[in-house]
Amino acid sequence: MSDTALREQICLLAKSMFDRGLTGGSTGNISARTSDGGLLVSPTGTSFGRLDPARLSCFDAAGTLIGGDSPTREMPLHSAFYDTRSSAGAVVHLHSCHSVAWSLMPEVDEDNFLPPLTPYAIMKLGRVKLLPFYRPGDPAMGAAVRGLAGKRSAVMLANHGPVVAAKDVEAACNAIEELEDTARLAILMRGYSPRQLTPEQITDLVTHFDVEWDA
Supply the residues annotated as catalytic: 120
8 A C-beta contact, residue 28 and residue 48: yes
Alpha-carbon distances of 83 from 2, 91, 114, 150, 174, rounded to whole Å: 23, 12, 25, 8, 22
**Rg of the chain on CA atoms, in Å:** 17
Which long-range contacts link 21-24 to residues 24+ away (Cβ below 8 Å)?
21/97, 22/94, 22/96, 22/176, 22/177, 22/180, 23/48, 23/94, 23/95, 23/96, 23/161, 24/95
Q: Tell me how far apart the alpha carbons of residues 148 and 120 are, in angstroms, rounded to a whole number.
A: 23
126 forms bridges with which residues in the sheet?
A: none
CB contact at 8 A, 23 and 13: no
CB 154 within 8 A of CB 90: no
- Measured over the CA atoms of residue 42, residue 87, residue 213 and residue 150, the dihedral's sign is negative
